[in-house]
Amino acid sequence: MDKQTVTGLVLRECAKGEADKLLTLLTAEHGKMTVLGKGVRSLKNKNMVTTQPYCYATFILSKARSGIYYISDSDLTEAFFGLRGDLLTLALAAYVCEVAEACSVEDSADVPLLRLTLNTLYALSQNKKPVRQIKASFEMRCAAVCGFSPDVSGCASCGTDEAPAYYLDILGGELLCPDCMTRRRPEDETVEYSGEWTRPFSPVSPATLGIMRHTLGCDIAKLLAPKLTDAETAEFAAVSERYLLHHLGRGFATLDYYRQFEKLQK
Ligand SMILES: [Zn+2]
């Protein structure tokens, strides 16, 4: 196909030549795409606005002889202008887009990931929910979208769903109640037992478990509906970030950057 229309979010831009950009888009039709924006760094270019980071737009693409698609026309749907008013918000938006890029693949439509990313950017731009809650909700739901949702039904060993507290096995994606946790044996370790447990677990209170269940199972439009206390936000944030990063097996430069701003606000 030499010409095609896609709806996509600009995840990343990279300057090329005098006035061009290489753009990484997350599209509804084909997943991740790298496209060329010819001349879009010029203020006079008709595609200058839609090719900014975090813009969601309809793009008409034409295929160049080299095989790469370039933008021949575009129509802005949403620019999420509200993101740009606050450094912490902007830093988190960059992290969200970097995670979306890491989780998406080319030639494979992933509408749930696109919807999650768009909803998250929208929530950030509206500034109606705490940034830490938005981040944690995105991370936990992203784990589910990527196919490694934790099992939050109850203790994976004895089955109880009425324990006073739980521990989430970060690698296994399962919960253990305190009784089953104390009955763990050295052979349950993934690395050689050295006298200390090394398999990572995160504490999960019943309140946080309720938030995780909501986050993993709700309609995406209701993702941020829960009202959380500061303590719940802190625990949910810790477990969500740890779980997602472990399963993606990497860190993110944008997350390090975000943490710097978060520290300043504490
Ligand atoms: Zn148990």
Q: What pLDDT score does 5 carry?
A: 97
What CATH architecture is 3-78?
Answer: Beta Barrel (2.40)
> What pLDDT, in 10s, does the model give residues 58-108?
999 999 998 999 999 999 999 999 998 899 999 999 999 999 999 999 999
Query: Mean of the pLDDT values across residues 183-188?
Result: 70
State the SS3 of the chain: CCEEEEEEEEEEEEEECCCEEEEEEEECCCEEEEEEECCCCCCCCCCCCCCCCCCEEEEEEEECCCCCEEEEEEEEEECCHHHHHCHHHHHHHHHHHHHHHHHCCECCCCHHHHHHHHHHHHHHHHCCCCHHHHHHHHHHHHHHHCCCCCEEEEECCCCCCCCCCEEEECCCCEEECHHHHHCCCHHHCCCCCCCCCCCCEEEECHHHHHHHHHHHHCCHHHCCCCCCCHHHHHHHHHHHHHHHHHHHCCCCHHHHHHHHHHHHHC
Write down the mean pLDDT value for the chain: 93
Predicted local distance difference test score (pLDDT) of residue 128:
86
CA of 183 relative to ligand 1 center, distance in Å: 9
Ligand 1 geometric centre to CA of 173 (Å): 15
What's the confidence (pLDDT) of residue 189? 61
Q: pLDDT per residue over 234-256, tens digit each? A: 999 999 999 999 999 999 999 99
**pLDDT computed for residue 186 by the predictor:** 62
- The highest-level CATH class for domain 85-266 is mainly alpha
Whether the pLDDT of residue 192 is over 60: the answer is no
Percentage of the chain beyond pLDDT 70 is 94
pLDDT number for residue 195? 59
Taking the centre of ligand 1 as the mean of its atom positions, its distance from the CA of residue 211, in whole angstroms, is 20
Q: What is the pTM of this model?
A: 0.94
Q: How far is the CA of 6 from the centre of ligand 1 (A)?
A: 49
pLDDT at 27 > cutoff 70: yes
Listed by start position, the domains of the chain span: 3-78, 85-266
**Domains 3-78 and 85-266 alike in fold:** no
Looking at residue 184, its pLDDT comes to 78
Phi-psi region of 253 (alpha: psi -120 to 50; beta: other; left: phi over 0): alpha
Tokens of 252: 């993110």
Give the distance (Å) from ligand 1 centre to CA of residue 230. Answer: 28
Angle ∠(199,201,206) on CA atoms, nearest 5: 160
